[in-house]
Amino acid sequence: MRLSSFFFLVDEAGKSIRRNGLMSLAAFSAVTVALSVFGGAVFFLYRLHQFAAAQPQRFVIAVFLQDDASRSTSTDVERRIQGIPGVTETRLVTKEEALGELMEEDRKRGTRIVDALAGANPLPDRIDVRTASPERSRSVAAVLRNETRFPEVAAVRDEREMLDKLVATSKLVRTLSAIVAGLLLFATAVLVQNTLRLTVIARADEIQIMRLVGASPAFVRLPIVLEGIFYGVAGAIAASLLVILVLSQLSRYTASFESPLAVGMPPAPGPWMILVVLMATGLILGLVTSVISLRRFLR
Amino acid sequence: MIQLENVTVTFDGSGSVLRRVSLTIPTGDFVYIVGTTGAGKSTLLRLLYCDACPSSGTVLVAGQTLERLRPTDIPRLRRRMGIVFQDFKLLPDRNVYENVAFALRVIGASNREIRRRVPDVLELVGLIERYDAFPHQLSGGEKQRVAIARALANTPPLLLADEPTGNLDPETSCGIADVLERINQLGTTVVVATHDKHMVDTFRKRVVQIEDGCIVRDECPGYYDAAGGATA
């Protein structure tokens, strides 16, 4: 394609946007509103997913050793636990450290459990074990409970029920998020496609003339596709600004009562990430919907 | 230039619009296709510019068998013909020059070619003085001249006109017929589907009459005779 032809097509797309001022405004507004709702909902669902996914990671398997286990035995058991597939991290908490933790708990809660012990330390050495995924916890805990392999272990606490519920919830949130995001994207695409179809109908004569004088389908399609991309990207930029503005106001408001459950959650996607995701969505939407809108006219 | 052999066209939900039509139009010919409304004149032209497909038979245009044409080849074939309609189909927001140049731009012509070619065709149709007028500032006859100029911009060897004088008074029709005749004298094959008795009888050329999808008369030169009576 000649450079002059390309500039002609870009100019045609620009002219059409200016000429159909009200229609262009409608298309731009439709994309902005639809992508704002989509962007806001996806951000919320993504945070919900991050939150649900972060919960099981907070849980560790606590392995209590026999009272008479020597320090070297504890170190040896820790080394063997590290060899179990799926284990990512271990931490040996000696009985002295465990007592220190208990004293700290007493101080925080205002209890006097350590005082009641009258200088004795009945706590055993403990090994905290983290696994690669919450789903692996069950199999790792089963290995640790095997008395033949780990006779030094007195008890294993893995909060199995709690973990199972959280894993199930996290999966449910992930599935629901994907379905809701998919439905929203579909609704956005239908809205944008309908608006673009109106702009295509407004150019029906032009398209017919182009075809009759022998313009190739690509040449007929390009100005409309460029127009669709323009609406998609421009609408996405406006939607991003709107979403970023609303989220920044919301985060200022919610920061004052942040739940302790949110501690350890990965950081929220930044403004650039929102802009890039929405712009990519807008671009693809504009491209696909304009091609679909043109299909009937190019038959 | 054009050859139809036993061509039948049937659209969904209707009977045959054309029935076993055979017709040969040599290069440089000027042919009027006449007939009553719904006789199949426009369908015949639509066949030629690949806007309708034959249900059976063979259509040959400029050496191309249309049934064997791939969709990607259609634009290339259309560049070898100019098409003129009753309703002009001009772009209202572009002036005369831009309307004609549009036909060249969309087939990827260079700016130099456009600057050279557009004044030439406007001169041919007698509208060079009105190059900067917009369609709403033109009379019906002038609009049709612009449409003809646009159809000729790419110097096609074939010009198809579907009721080019349908919206014009007899005097203006003669002006359009005059332009078409001049174009024909330059070597372009011209096929005009028309109801315009005055034009057909004044500018006498070959007349092909279609009734109910069949060719009932083919005379050269002929008169307009919707009843089908032979008047050579």
Instruction: Kindly provide the ipTM of the predicted complex, given to two decimals.
Output: 0.81
Cβ-Cβ contacts under 8 Å for B127 (sequence gap 6 or more): B96, B142, B145, B146, B149
- Cα distance from A9 to chain B (closest Cα, Å)? 9
Residues above pLDDT 70, as percent of chain A: 91
* Cβ contacts from A onto B, under 8 A: 56
- Cα distance from B50 to chain A (closest Cα, Å)? 9
Least confident of A182-186, A243-247, B7-11: A182-186
User: Could you give the 3-state DSSP secondary structure of residue B64?
Assistant: strand
CB within 8 Å: B106 and A215:
yes
Considering only CB atoms, which chain A residues are within 8 Å of B89?
205, 208-209, 212
Calpha distance B71→B73 (Å, rounded): 5
**Contact criterion met (CB below 8 Å) for A50 and A59:** no
User: How much is the pLDDT for B193?
Assistant: 93
User: How much is the pLDDT for A265?
Assistant: 65
- Cα distance from A198 to chain B (closest Cα, Å)? 18
- Cα distance from B110 to chain A (closest Cα, Å)? 7
Tokens of residue B19, six digits: 């029935």
CB within 8 Å: A211 and B78:
yes
Nearest by CB to residue A212, choosing from B78, B91, B105, is B78
A182 CB neighbour count, 10 Å cutoff: 10
How sure is the predictor about A69, in pLDDT bands with cuts at 50, 70 and 90? confident
Calpha distance A215→A131 (Å, rounded): 63
- The length of chain A is 299
Calpha distance A256→A277 (Å, rounded): 28
Weakly modelled stretches of chain B, pLDDT under 70? 13, 226-232
User: How much is the pLDDT for A203?
Assistant: 81
CB within 8 Å: A205 and B89:
yes
Tokens of residue A18, six digits: 């200016």
Nearest by CB to residue B83, choosing from A1, A4, A212, is A212
- Cα distance from B13 to chain A (closest Cα, Å)? 19
In chain B, the residue whose alpha carbon lies closest to the alpha carbon of A214 is B75
Calpha distance B104→B106 (Å, rounded): 6
Calpha distance A100→B165 (Å, rounded): 103
CB within 8 Å: A213 and B108:
no
Torsion angles phi and psi, residue A64, rounded to 5: -95, 130
Name which of A6, A8, A11, A213 to mutate to probe chain B: the one with the most chain B Cβ atoms within 10 A of its Cβ. A213
User: How much is the pLDDT for B229?
Assistant: 43
Segment A31-54, tens digit of pLDDT = 898 888 888 888 888 887 777 767
CA A299 from chain centre, in angstroms, equals 41
**Contact criterion met (CB below 8 Å) for A253 and A10:** no
User: How much is the pLDDT for A58?
Assistant: 67
Tokens of residue B126, six digits: 């007698």
User: How much is the pLDDT for B230?
Assistant: 39
- Across A91-109, average pLDDT: 88
User: Which whole-number Å values give the CA distances from A164 to A109, A111, A156, B214, in the listed order?
Assistant: 29, 32, 16, 80
User: How much is the pLDDT for A276?
Assistant: 92
A126, β-bridge pairs = A64, A93
In chain B, the residue whose alpha carbon lies closest to the alpha carbon of A1 is B108
Nearest by CB to residue B108, choosing from A5, A205, A211, is A5
Considering only CB atoms, which chain B residues are within 8 Å of A218?
none
B82 CB neighbour count, 10 Å cutoff: 30
In chain A, the residue whose alpha carbon lies closest to the alpha carbon of B87 is A205
> Pick from B106, B44, A178: which is nearest to B114 by CA?
B106
CB within 8 Å: A208 and B76:
no
> Pick from B180, B171, B118, B110: which is nearest to B145 by CA?
B180
> Pick from B174, B231, B232: which is nearest to B199 by CA?
B174
CB within 8 Å: A209 and B91:
yes
Calpha distance B105→A282 (Å, rounded): 30
CB within 8 Å: B49 and A4:
no
User: How much is the pLDDT for B83?
Assistant: 92
Least confident of A125-139, A209-223, A262-276: A262-276
Name which of A212, A224, A297, A299 to mutate to probe chain B: the one with the most chain B Cβ atoms within 10 A of its Cβ. A212
User: Could you give the 3-state DSSP secondary structure of residue B159?
Assistant: strand
User: How much is the pLDDT for A299?
Assistant: 62
Segment A197-226, tens digit of pLDDT = 887 887 888 888 888 888 888 888 888 888
User: How much is the pLDDT for B232?
Assistant: 40
Segment A272-287, tens digit of pLDDT = 888 999 999 999 988 9
User: How much is the pLDDT for A186?
Assistant: 87
Interhelix angle A160-202/A204-212, rounded to 10 degrees, is: 70
In chain B, the residue whose alpha carbon lies closest to the alpha carbon of A206 is B91
B33, β-bridge pairs = B193, B208
How sure is the predictor about A92, in pLDDT bands with cuts at 50, 70 and 90? very high
- Across A130-134, average pLDDT: 80
Is the predicted pLDDT of residue A79 greater than 70, yes or no?
yes
Torsion angles phi and psi, residue A223, rounded to 5: -60, -40
- Cα distance from A242 to chain B (closest Cα, Å)? 36
User: How much is the pLDDT for A56?
Assistant: 63
**Contact criterion met (CB below 8 Å) for B210 and B40:** yes
Longest dimension (CA), chain A: 101
- Across A23-30, average pLDDT: 84
Calpha distance A45→A53 (Å, rounded): 12
**Contact criterion met (CB below 8 Å) for B18 and B7:** yes
Is the predicted pLDDT of residue A162 greater than 90, yes or no?
no
CB within 8 Å: B108 and A211:
no
Residues above pLDDT 90, as percent of chain A: 18
Considering only CB atoms, which chain B residues are within 8 Å of A216?
72, 75
